[in-house]
Amino acid sequence: KLWNVAVVGATGAVGTQMIECLEERKFPVGKIKFLASVRSVGQVLEFNGKPVPVEELKHDSFEGIDIALFSAGGARSEEFCPSAAKAGAVCIDNSSAWRMDPEVPLVVPEVNPHALAGYRKKGIVANPNCSTIQMVVALKPLHDFGSIKRIVVSTYQAVSGTGNKAIDELRKQTGELLNGRPPKNEVYPHRIAFNCLPQIDSFCDNGYTKEEMKMVNETRKIMEAEIKTTATCVRVPVFYGHSESVNIETAKKITVAKARELLEDAPGVELVDNPANGEYPMAMDAAGEDLTLVGRIREDDTVANGLNLWVVADNLRKGAATNAVQIAELLVEEYLK
């Protein structure tokens, strides 16, 4: 059976990857529709070698669509997912708009595939934040074995997480600085080239950023456990691939050898942990890949049962597009049939 698919935000950084993932994974697509803002009308993209014109996103864009992949910002998701669902499409939404809604499942197929059943309530499935996805993929096998009580995570996030405009900003600022010209910043509050910004998204009243609170709250929802998470999220001058330093405390001890054994066979994970040979996960190796790379596994002997890990994934792929297409695959295999 073939499914009619709409990609909302088809011209964006994540939308472009969604289109590539549908092609690469040979998702059984019948009709495809590319939607974006009125600014992109006139652009013609390709799907499986055939031209597809970009159409303006409207409330009546979803007639006959089975699955709508949304990545056009939270405001668009909030406004248009209900119309898409009403027209009979299942929305897989990459924004933060619906993630914490108790009637919307928040799904990482390697971690909580059973939760997808909840899509029926609103016709919406939420794709988690990129930083959360890669962390829970790495932690789920450790949690199943040793029960994680607390997580301390610091992130090193690529500019592509902000979208195409931020990719341009890092590129331009790097050129300007190397050529002795004063760099301009429009997307970020400060210069990102040759700098690190300890702010991702806006600040909440508690002093944390929204990105940090997403990691706290989404982790609990996806892992279905009262895990205490504290996060510091930092934007770094990297184009593709988020890196994370993750410290965990578990109820049961997990030795380094056991952690390696658990991660070696874990779905969606590639163990890259051979420090003697200089082998560890790096953003440049994760870019363009779908697996979450895990390495630098060390016991944290400052607490009873502690482990340190370094976790890296392509934020546009496993952190966004690939996870969304995996959800679509699960949906058609298990539910829509």
Q: Which residues contact ligand 11C (rule: CB under 6 A)?
A: 95-96, 129-131, 157, 161-162, 200, 211, 214, 315
Q: Are residues 147 and 141 in contact, defined by beta-carbon separation less than 8 angstroms? A: no
Contact flag: residue 39 with ligand A2P (CB under 6 A): yes
Among 98, 63, 101, which residue's Cα sits nearest to residue 81? 98
Contact flag: residue 37 with ligand A2P (CB under 6 A): yes
Q: Which of 11, 95, 157, 326 binds ligand A2P (CB under 6 A)?
A: 11
CA 287 to chain centre: 13
- Identify whether 190 is a catalytic site residue: no
- Identify whether 242 is a catalytic site residue: yes
161 binds, among ligand 11C, ligand A2P, none (CB under 5 to 8 A by kind): ligand 11C
Q: Within 13 Å of residue 238, how many CA atoms lie on the same side as its CB?
A: 23
Provide the minimum distance between the beta carbon of 2 and ligand A2P in the complex, in angstroms, as a whole number: 24
CA 302 to chain centre: 31
Give whichever of 200 and 324 is closer to ligand 11C, judged by the CB atom. Answer: 200
Contact flag: residue 83 with ligand A2P (CB under 6 A): no
326 binds, among ligand A2P, ligand 11C, none (CB under 5 to 8 A by kind): none
Contact flag: residue 164 with ligand A2P (CB under 6 A): yes
Convert 246-271 to b/e letters by CB count within 10 Å (16 or more is b): bbbbbeeebeeebbeebbeebebbbb
Contact flag: residue 317 with ligand A2P (CB under 6 A): no
155 binds, among ligand A2P, ligand 11C, none (CB under 5 to 8 A by kind): none
77 binds, among ligand A2P, ligand 11C, none (CB under 5 to 8 A by kind): none
Which whole-number Å values give the CA distances from 11 to 56, 129, 171, in the listed order?
Answer: 11, 20, 19
The residues binding ligand A2P (CB under 6 A) are: 9-15, 36-37, 39-40, 57, 72-73, 76, 163-165
Active site residues: 130, 242
